[in-house]
Amino acid sequence: MDDQAFRLHVREWLEANFPEEMRFPPRRLNFDQAMGWHKTLNEQGWVAPGWPTEHGGMGLSPYQQIIFSEELDRVGAFIIPSFGVTMLGPLLLGYGTDEQRAEYLPKILSGEHIWCQGYSEPGAGSDLASLRMSAEVDGDDYIVNGQKIWTTMAQQANMIFLLVRTDKEAKKQKGISFLLVPMDTPGITVREIDNIGGYSEFAEVFFDEVRVPRSNMVGAVNQGWTMAKALLGAERILLGSPKLAKFPLQRLQAMANEFGLFDDPVFKARFTQLHMEIEDSVAVYIRMLEVLRRGEQLGPEISILKLAVTEMFQRVADLILDASTEYAGTESVIPLSDGTSYKPVNTYYLSRPSTIYGGSSQVQRNILAKAILKLPG
Ligand SMILES: Cc1cc2nc3c(=O)[nH]c(=O)nc-3n(C[C@H](O)[C@H](O)[C@H](O)COP(=O)(O)OP(=O)(O)OC[C@H]3O[C@@H](n4cnc5c(N)ncnc54)[C@H](O)[C@@H]3O)c2cc1C
C-alpha cells in the first residue's frame, strides 16, 4: 500500500470503529477508560505501529507511523500512551531473552499487562544515576527495598519496570540493574499524588522487602544503565513527537474557526508562526525516525526535538488561554458546534510538566551545549 492509500485505509477504519464517546475528551483518557479501545485495536493488529510484524506489531515505516498517529488525532483520540508498547516492548526486542519476549510481548498487546515506569526517586530525577532502591540477592530472588516517585498511572498498572541498585560499591552508573515486577507482589504500596489540575495521574510507590525472581532481570546484572539510556532515547523520540504540540493546535484551530478569531491579524500571526514551527519539527522528527528505522543510533541531537516540541506545546497552550477569553477559567468548558467540548485550562495543565519529565529543558540544554556545541562543562 502506498502512503496515501494507507492513510485512507486507516481513516476509514477509524471512522467506523473509534468510539463516538471517546472523541476529543475534555482531558486525556487513562488506561482503564481506554481498555475497550485497546482490545479493539488489538483485534485489528494495530496496537504497536513501530514493532516488527513477527512480534505482533504493524512494522510501519517511520512516515507511516506519523500518518497513523495523525489519523488517530483526527478522530480525537487522546489517551495516555501505553508504556508497554512505547518503552518496554522496544527494550525487550533489543535486550530481552527469547523467553522474556515470549512471556511479555503478547500480554502488552492484549492489554493483560499494563506497565508503569519506576525510574525516578526522591533525590534521583535529573540525576537518575543517584537512585538508591536496593535489590539484594537471596537465593533465586532479589529482595527489593526503597521508593519510587512520580510513577505515571502506577495506580492502574499491574506491572512495573524498575531501575534498582545491585552494587552499592561500584561507581553509581555501574551498579544499576533493570527488573520487571508484578504490582501485586506483597510489600508494594501505591500512594496517589494529585497534580495541579486536581487529577491523580501519578503516584509514589513503596517497596518493603519485595521478593522478585532473579529471572525477572532484563540484561545482565549491573547493566541497567545501558538499558536505561537506550530506553530514555526511545522516550525522548516519543516525547519529542510534534503530535504533542500539533494536537492542541488543531483544537485551537477548531475554536478559532468557531469564534472568528482568524479575523484578528495578531491572533492569525501568532497561530501561523506556531503552525510553521510545528511543521518544521515534523520534518526533523521524520528524519530522526528514519535514522532509527535504518537500525542506527541517534546521538545527543535527539535532545533538540524534545526541547523544541515541549516548549512549542507550552506556547500553544499559552495562546489557547489567551484566545479563550472568559473561558480561560479553571472550570470553564467551551461547547463546540461539532458536539464536542473543550476545556482550555486542561491543555495548559498538561503542557506545564512536559518540560520536566523525560529530561527537563535545562538538562536537554546541558546535553546540547556539551555534546553538540562542545562548550566547556
Ligand atoms: C507529569 C510527570 C510524569 C512523570 N512520570 C514519571 C514516570 O512515569 N516514571 C518515572 O520514573 N518518573 C516520572 N516522572 C519524573 C521525571 O522524570 C522527573 O520529574 C524529572 O526527571 C526531573 O527530576 P526531579 O523532579 O527530581 O527534578 P530535579 O532533578 O530535582 O530538578 C529540579 C530543577 O533543577 C533543574 N536541574 C537539575 N539538574 C540540573 C543541572 N545539572 N543543570 C541545570 N539544571 C538542573 C531541573 O531542570 C529542574 O528545573 C514524571 C514527572 C512528571 C512531571
pLDDT for residue 330: 85
Give the Å distance between the CA of 150 and the centre of ligand 1: 9
Asked if the model's pLDDT at residue 183 lies above 80, the reply is yes
| Separation of alpha carbons 112 and 236, rounded Å | 26
pLDDT for residue 24: 86
pLDDT for residue 186: 98
Tell me the CATH class for 240-372.
Answer: mainly alpha
**Nearest alpha carbon, ligand 1 atom 29:** 126
**Nearest alpha carbon, ligand 1 atom 41:** 363
Mean pLDDT of 191-207: 93
Specify the DSSP element, H or E, that contains 6: helix 3-17
| Of residues 64 and 84, more confidently modeled | 84
Is 115-221's fold the same as 240-372's? no
Which band of pLDDT confidence, cut at 50, 70 and 90, is reported for residue 237?
confident
Give the Å distance between the CA of 119 and the centre of ligand 1: 11
- Our answer to whether residue 169 is catalytic in this structure is no
Average pLDDT, the chain: 93
CB burial of residue 139 (10 Å; 0-12, 13-18, 19+): exposed
Q: What does pTM read for this prediction?
A: 0.93
pLDDT for residue 99: 96
Q: Choose which residue among 28, 80, 126 to substitute to test ligand 1 binding: the one with the highest number of ligand atoms within 8 A of its C-beta.
A: 126
Neighbours of 277 (CB within 10 A): 18
- pLDDT exceeding 90 applies to what percent of the chain? 75
Mean pLDDT of 261-266: 97
Neighbours of 264 (CB within 10 A): 14
Asked if the model's pLDDT at residue 377 lies above 80, the reply is no
Atom of ligand 1 nearest to the CA of 153: 8
Give the Å distance between the CA of 149 and the centre of ligand 1: 10
Specify the DSSP element, H or E, that contains 143: strand 141-152
pLDDT for residue 63: 78
Q: Choose which residue among 128, 360, 361, 364 to substitute to test ligand 1 binding: the one with the highest number of ligand atoms within 8 A of its C-beta.
A: 360
For residues 31 and 156, the answer to whether their CB atoms sit within 8 Å is yes
| Separation of alpha carbons 252 and 84, rounded Å | 31
Which residues approach ligand 1 with their CB closer than 6 A?
Answer: 116-120, 125-126, 150-152, 202, 353, 356-357, 360, 362-363, 366
Give the Å distance between the CA of 130 and the centre of ligand 1: 13
Q: Choose which residue among 239, 356, 366 to substitute to test ligand 1 binding: the one with the highest number of ligand atoms within 8 A of its C-beta.
A: 356
Mean pLDDT of 239-243: 87
| Of residues 94 and 165, more confidently modeled | 165
Mean pLDDT of 131-156: 97
**Nearest alpha carbon, ligand 1 atom 12:** 120
Atom of ligand 1 nearest to the CA of 119: 11
pLDDT for residue 159: 98
CATH homologous superfamily, domain 115-221: Butyryl-CoA Dehydrogenase, subunit A, domain 2 (2.40.110.10)
Structural domain boundaries in the chain = 3-80, 115-221, 240-372
Which band of pLDDT confidence, cut at 50, 70 and 90, is reported for residue 105?
very high
Read off the pLDDT of residues 3-61 as tens digits, 9 standing for 90 and up.
899 999 999 999 999 999 999 887 889 999 999 999 999 999 999 998 999 999 999 98
pLDDT for residue 189: 98
**Nearest alpha carbon, ligand 1 atom 23:** 125
Atom of ligand 1 nearest to the CA of 124: 26
- Residues 12, 235, 258, 331: which is the catalytic one? 235
